[in-house]
Amino acid sequence: MQADFYQGNDPMRDLKLPDQRHPEKAHRPDQAVQPKKPSWIRVRAPGGEGYNQTRRIMRDNNLTTVCEEAGCPNVGECWSQGHATMMIMGEVCTRACSFCNVATGKPDALDAFEPGRVAHAVATLGLNHVVITSVDRDDVADGGAEHFAQTIRAVRHRAPDTTIEILTPDFLRCDDSALETVVAARPDVFNHNLETVPGLYPSVRPGARYFHSLRLLQRVKELDPGMFTKSGIMVGLGEDRQSVSQVMDDMRAADIDFLTIGQYLQPTPKHHHVDRFVTPEEFAAYEKAAYGKGFLMVSATPLTRSSYHAGDDFARLRSAREAHLGRA
């Protein structure tokens, strides 16, 4: 980790400023200018009563959302419906992936009261389904696994009818007990994104390892065969169709149930460039191919993100498994 990374307790830093939000990227030359977004990418600016109510609940409970931190294009639609993806363990990540807009640096200590605040927000929003994700916490011995487990248990206690989907880090520097701790808390869906094809890992996801992430998801199924697993990738980073197809095959070999594919969008000029905007027709072809390979659920559209329409998709995922078992 570089010495000039953001210090979570430093009041002089402002995470709204790009050079302070991403100090490790500040010295890099600007990447190629992102091409003008095509019509199928553009979305309305967020606003409205539902959006503002969700925003108030997040602020009142001092919660961070990946919707804001990662600059998700769907934040207006999701928040207007009362759906938000909770991001636990702070707003500062110990990794510096070239695609991601979450701030990088040395985070604050974990907040022991955060699981309770997340559970309170879930109950207040009346969510049928909640997605809980996090920053990477390589500074914590278990990668934050116990914090994830505590959050899952708190939500179960406050909102027992809410189904829980988690989107976890890779626990790369942890022993096997970290993953076991999270799985033992029994989330309904365990999601960990591969993000891109293996050949692009050195430039897109340099702090991670493709086959470790794949093995992580495989181990979830070994620990709990009934748990749904999910993973996603971005396209438009420089991959080709053959490499995407190979990732699908790798995921199915790891018994992953649900695949998401979405268009990569460049957060700032210092981030990885957009190689191209993939057409809706190509996304439809990816979806057809993925179903042909045996995925129970596939979401492949330009605006697809891990938690986009997650509640509706979970209901369809559960129905698809029931139908599959009925045919077996």
Residue 264: predicted pLDDT: 93
Mean pLDDT of 113-122: 94
Nearest-angstrom CA–CA distance, 144 and 147: 5
Would you say residue 78 has pLDDT above 70?
no
pLDDT at 57: 67
From CA 87, how far away is CA 99, in angstroms rounded?
A: 18
CA distance 201 to 218: 20
**What is the structure's pLDDT at 141?**
97
252 and 208 Cβ atoms separated by less than 8 Å: no
Residue 125: phi and psi, rounded to 5, are: -75, -20
Q: What is the pLDDT of residue 194?
A: 98
What DSSP state is assigned to residue 32? P
Taking the C-alpha atoms of residue 261 and residue 287, their distance in angstroms, rounded to an integer, is 8
CA angle at 192 for the pair 190 and 197, rounded to the nearest 5°: 145
Residues 6+ apart with CB under 8 A from 143: 136, 137, 169, 171, 172, 173, 174, 178
> Mean of the pLDDT values across residues 92-97?
91
Residue scoring higher pLDDT (9 or 60): 60
**Residue 13 pLDDT > 70, yes or no?**
no
Contact 153, 118 (CB under 8 A): no
Q: How far apart are CA 318 and CA 310, in angstroms?
A: 12
H-helix segments, 172-292: 176-184, 201-204, 210-223, 241-253, 280-292
Q: Which of 21-25, 141-145, 319-323 is the most confident on average?
A: 141-145
Give the residue, 83 or 76, on which the prediction is more confident: 83
Q: Which range (117-126, 179-188, 207-216) has the least confidence? A: 117-126
Pairing label, strands 228-235, 189-191: parallel
**123 burial via Cβ count (<10 Å: 0-12, 13-18, 19+):** middle
5: confidence class by pLDDT, cuts 50, 70, 90: very low
Give dist(CA 79, CA 71) in Å, integer.
Answer: 13
CA distance 104 to 22: 6
pLDDT digits (tens, 9 = 90+) for 230-243: 999 999 999 999 99
CB hemisphere CA count around 282 (13 angstroms): 16
Residue 186, CA distances (Å) to 69, 93, 183 in order: 27, 25, 5
Q: What is the mean pLDDT of residues 97-110?
A: 90
* Residue 3: per-residue pLDDT: 35
Instruction: Give the span between the Cα atoms of 63 and 56, in whole angstroms.
Output: 10
Mean pLDDT of the chain: 86
pLDDT number for residue 81? 56
Q: 3-class SS at 259?
A: strand
Residue 10 has pLDDT above 90, yes or no: no
Residue 151 has pLDDT above 90, yes or no: yes
**Can you give the C-alpha Rg of the chain in angstroms?**
19
> Which value, to the nearest 10 degrees, does the dihedral of the CA atoms of residues 233, 231, 167, 321 take?
150
Span 205-232, pLDDT tens digits:
999 999 999 999 999 999 999 999 999 9
Amino acid 4: pLDDT: 41
Summarize the confidence of residues 7-33 as an average pLDDT.
66
Give the residue with greater pLDDT, 28 vs 274.
274
The predicted-structure confidence for 262-320, as pLDDT tens digits, reads as follows 999 888 888 899 999 999 999 999 999 999 999 999 999 998 887 767 778 888 999 99
Q: What's the pTM? A: 0.86
Q: Which of 32-36, 53-57, 71-75, 207-211 has the lowest mean pLDDT?
A: 71-75
